[in-house]
Amino acid sequence: MDLLGFVIAIVKALIVLVLMLSTIPILVWSERKLSAWMQDRVGPNRVGPAGLLQPLADVVKFLFKEEVMPQGAEKWLFVAAPVLTLVPALLAFAAIPIGDPIHLFGREVTLQLANVNVGILFVFAVGSLGAYGIVFGAWASNNKFSLLGGLRAAAQLVSYEVSLGLSIVGVLMLTGSLRLGDVVDAQAGTFFGFVPRWNLFAQPIGFLIFTVAAFAETNRAPFDLAEAEQELVAGYHTEYSSMKFALFFMAEYAHMITVSALLTCLFLGGWKVPGLEHIGLGPFLFGVVQTLAFAMKAGFVLFFFQWVRWTLPRFRYDQLMTLGWKVFFPLGVANVMLTGVLLLGSR
Amino acid sequence: MTSVWPLLLYYLLPLVGLWTYRRGGRTGTLAAGISWFLAAVALGVVIGDARSFAVISFYLLSLVAVMTAFLVVTGTNPVYGALSLIGTFTGIAGVFVVLQCEFFGIVQVILYAGAILVLYLFVVMMVDLPKENAQKRGGVRGIAAIATGLGLLALVVKALAPLGMRLQPAAGASAEPYSVRAVGTALFGPYLVPFEVASLLLLVALVGAIVLSGRERES
């Protein structure tokens, strides 16, 4: 790797980091506005136009709040846990491509940090490490509500990781590659001339399982049992205050962004817009439109996440386990079998 | 014979742990371990194994893996032990990636760090184990451990001696022989029977566990 390549890699890393960190406050704002709208309230409207500066005020508040550490807490782990939660959530985005390679400074630049040939697995592996932060933080707090929240997070992770993995096997069988760029490329074009060739239509069962498992993976309602404020005070982050709590909070949103981008890549055709190549845009504009399309799709998925959160009540714990192991696991296996049979039949 | 030092170091570790526990507890053990390993790496560099970026990252990742493995063995708190074990798995995964076996590296993280260890942790937290007693270390048992370790080392050295004791990755590993496709073809081709037998073994273990827990519930 020469110097220019090195600089490009650093700049890309910075752009991804800044994009992630600046999307989080927007998400927080939209979540509050959306929930207010769905509950017939106004929502934040004091700070800035339409309350847009509210997240900024929140940041200031977080920074100035008092840090409290409970007596008998494991000091080292208590401090490390929020970091252990946020870092994997940010890191997982590294393998997600957001557009076709573009030409800059006379060389090809991929719109992706790390073009790993097992990209999907990388996202899963790093994402699953995020649960450790929650579990360790819960344990280090020396609080029974925290511990219960942490245990739920661990059990939930183990249960839903399996379904999540199974749900994408069908997609991988259609694509024949674990590289996310290849998965997106395979979704270009249309079925029957008018339906986009997205895996959403080719793999509806896989899509359903992936979406539900994604809610469980990100600890979002209706699967936010690790938090469950009506039962466990605030679950795993009961004892956390100030910026340490904010890190947990940011990790949840960072995880959401990663999962939405992954879902867009796997099932919604990534940056592919059917029919775009016939319009005759210049190569630069073409790339811009594609990346915008990706952002809009991922944005819709994020909206969907929030929509569901404020619509559905929380599952009970045994329901969560039953759903994971007795419904989605067999369904995932059946989907793999079905895809295999159809693939063999179409040969 | 130039590069047996990591193995030698590995089997000397119980000795270091024993010695430092009497003096400085966890911090002392950690410091001793780090300095021992740094010395070993420096020795390795001097001997001339570190020639490229890959080799340097191999040593750095091994440092992570060995140090955290050391903490797993010497630590007295099971939860910290689990945390250290995550470090070990991640380090080993990194070594796999350096050797261009990305698939194995990632699978290492998903399976061991992501799933199996969460289960361990679950058990450790549920049972709420008391802190292990540090005083139990050492004595006759420690000496026996060192003797066994040295014996094993002698066996390993004897077995490895004909191969020339090189620590560099094999020259042929740079092509793409460990791609996902190759792994799949190998598992469902030449190794189909061992693969299926292993799955059967896991299935039997699964059924056994369910039967055992069910019996307990009835009584």
Judged by CB atoms closer than 8 Å, whether chains meet at B122 and A155 is answered as yes
Q: Show Cβ contacts of residue B193 under 8 Å, excluding neighbours closer than 6 positions.
A: none
Give every residue of chain A whose pLDDT is below 70, as ranges.
Answer: 1-3, 103-108, 193
Nearest to A151 among B86, B113, B125 (CB): B125
- Mean pLDDT lowest for which of A36-45, B117-126, B167-176? B167-176
Confidence (pLDDT) at B1: 39
Judged by CB atoms closer than 8 Å, whether chains meet at B109 and A135 is answered as no
For residue A178 the two structure tokens come to 């674990």
Split at pLDDT 50, 70, 90, the class of B3 is very low
Confidence (pLDDT) at B204: 93
Provide, rounded to the nearest whole percent, the portion of chain B with pLDDT above 90: 5
Please give the Cα distance from B77 to B84 (Å, whole number): 11
pLDDT digits (tens, 9 = 90+) for B186-201: 888 888 899 899 999 9
A 150-179: CB under 8 A from B: 150-151, 154-155, 157-158, 161, 165, 178
Chain mean pLDDT for chain B: 71
- Reduced to 3 states (helix: H, G, I; strand: E, B; else coil), residue A75 is helix
Considering only alpha carbons, which residue of chain B is nearest residue A80? B83
CATH assignment of B5-130+137-167? 1.20.120
Confidence (pLDDT) at B201: 93
Please give the Cα distance from A261 to A271 (Å, whole number): 10
Considering only alpha carbons, which residue of chain B is nearest residue A130? B114
Domain ranges for chain A: 73-345
- Residue environment code for A214-246, b if the CB has 16+ CB neighbours within 10 A, otherwise e: bbbbbbbbbbbbbbbeeebbbbbbbbbeebbbb
Domain ranges for chain B: 5-130+137-167, 179-219
Q: Assess contact for A196 and A264: CB atoms under 8 A.
A: no
pTM of the model: 0.78
Please give the Cα distance from A88 to B107 (Å, whole number): 16
Is the pLDDT higher at B120 or at B107? B107
Confidence (pLDDT) at B8: 52
Confidence (pLDDT) at B197: 92
Q: What is the ipTM of this complex?
A: 0.75
Whether the predicted pLDDT of B134 surpasses 70: no
Whether the predicted pLDDT of B2 surpasses 50: no
Judged by CB atoms closer than 8 Å, whether chains meet at B86 and A132 is answered as yes
pLDDT digits (tens, 9 = 90+) for B39-79: 666 655 555 544 556 666 777 788 888 888 887 877 777 77
